[in-house]
Every structure is written in structure tokens, then in C-alpha cells.
Amino acid sequence: MPGWLRWTLRGVLAALAIVLAVMLVVRGMSPHDASAEEAPVSPVSPSPSETVEPSETPTPEPSETPSAPPSDPPSTPSDPGNTGGGGGGGAPSGPAKPTVVSFTPNPSSFACTPPGEGVFNSSQSVDVTISWRSTDAQHAWIGIDTADAEFSPYEEVATNMDGYTMTFFCPAPATRSLTLTLTGPGGKTSKTVTIRNTGYTG
């Protein structure tokens, strides 16, 4: 074999050997080794979340409500049984005072001989009928020409009467007064009526 061919074959073989060696080296590297050669990536740590502070809610100020004026205390009804007068101290009142409801003479006038124009004449007279009504009385008196028939009575009578008759003789003055006096647990009452002598000339 000529010498130049020999050196050519040696060169080709050497080149093939180099190519084969490179291929073996490339194929011998595993994927794990390749990933291991990669630079480690540091994990990304989560960033701390921002803490939201609670907002301050303004406290409403109490409104000034005008207070209502104090109402007057309810009045206590008075006891109808108490008079409450003077220094009674609220003690119950006593018995009611006697009352003359009515006191009526009939007739209320008469005609009689005037004084000095004759002598006493029992045949000339006038009858007067009297009626009365009263309340809260226990005793009654009737009197003539007096303001208190109990003190100066003509007669003690009933506390209520219809048709009580009195006789007046002539001569007689211009007027005659009749008084009814009542007494009872509550006190004393008198009422006076006047009978006129129309025959009196003075």
C-alpha cells in the first residue's frame, strides 16, 4: 500500500474515533444529571398580606332632648264626709242643723177693731191656720210676738204639721208675728212670719 493512502486512512480513522467519542459523551449524560446542573430556583415565599386595621367608627353623640316639665301631682279627692273647716283637722262633721222647709199662715192678714176704739170683745176674733215642714228636728215650739219660741212658747208642737189653728181676738195691733223654733242634735233654728191686721188705723 502506498504511504499516502496509509496516512489518509489513519486520518479518517482518527476523525471517526473523535466523532464516536463525542457521541458517547453526549449520550452518556442522563436527564437527571442535566436537571441537576441547572441552577436551583429559590422558592418564592409568599409576601405577608397587609393587615387591615379596623376603621374607627365615630360614636354618635347623644342629642339633648328637652325634658318635659314635671307634672303636678294628682290631687287627692276630699272626703265628702269631712268639712275641713277651721281647726277641725279633717274630722267628720256633726249632725245636721234643723231646717225649716216651709212655715205658712192662712190667712196672712185679717181685719180687727183697732186698739182704743173699743173694749176687748171675745166675739170678734179671727182663726189663722198654720202649716210647716222641717228636717233634722226632734222638738218644735210655736210662739207669738217672740224671736225664740222655745224660750217664750205659746205651745210645744210637732216638727211637721198641717192645719194647726190659732185664734186671734180683737182688738189687735197692726201686726202679729208667729215664730217656729226647732231643736235637734245639730243645733237650733227659728223662723218668723208676720200676720197683718188690715183693720188697724193707728
CA dist 24 → 10, 27, 28, 142 (Å)? 21, 5, 6, 171
Count of Cβ atoms closer than 10 Å to residue 134 Cβ: 21
Which residue in this structure is represented by grid cell 181685719? 111
pLDDT for residue 66: 52
Q: Among 180, 195, 109, 175, which Cα is nearest to 147's?
A: 180
Report helix, strand or coil for 179.
strand
Report helix, strand or coil for 123.
strand
Backbone phi and psi for residue 148, each to the nearest 5 degrees, phi listed first = -135, 100
Which residue in this structure is represented by grid cell 212670719? 193
CA 100/CA 6 separation, integer angstroms: 185
- Taking only the tens of pLDDT, the chain with its 202 residues reads 666 677 777 778 888 888 888 787 667 654 444 444 444 444 444 444 454 455 555 555 555 555 555 555 555 554 444 444 444 456 678 999 999 999 999 999 988 766 655 555 556 788 999 999 999 999 999 999 999 999 999 999 999 999 999 988 887 888 999 999 999 999 999 999 999 988 887 6
Rounded to two decimals, the pTM is: 0.53
Single-letter residue type at 95:
P
* Domain spanning 102-197, CATH class: mainly beta
Percent helix, strand and coil across the chain, each to the nearest 5:
15, 35, 50
pLDDT for residue 82: 45
Q: Among 198, 154, 196, 197, which Cα is nearest to 179's?
A: 154
Query: What cell numbers appear for 176 in the block?
Result: 202679729
Determine which helix (DSSP H) or strand (DSSP E) holds 127, and give its type and residue range: strand 121-135
Burial of 148: CB neighbours in 10 Å, binned 0-12, 13-18, 19+: middle
- The total number of residues shown for the chain amounts to 202
pLDDT for residue 21: 80
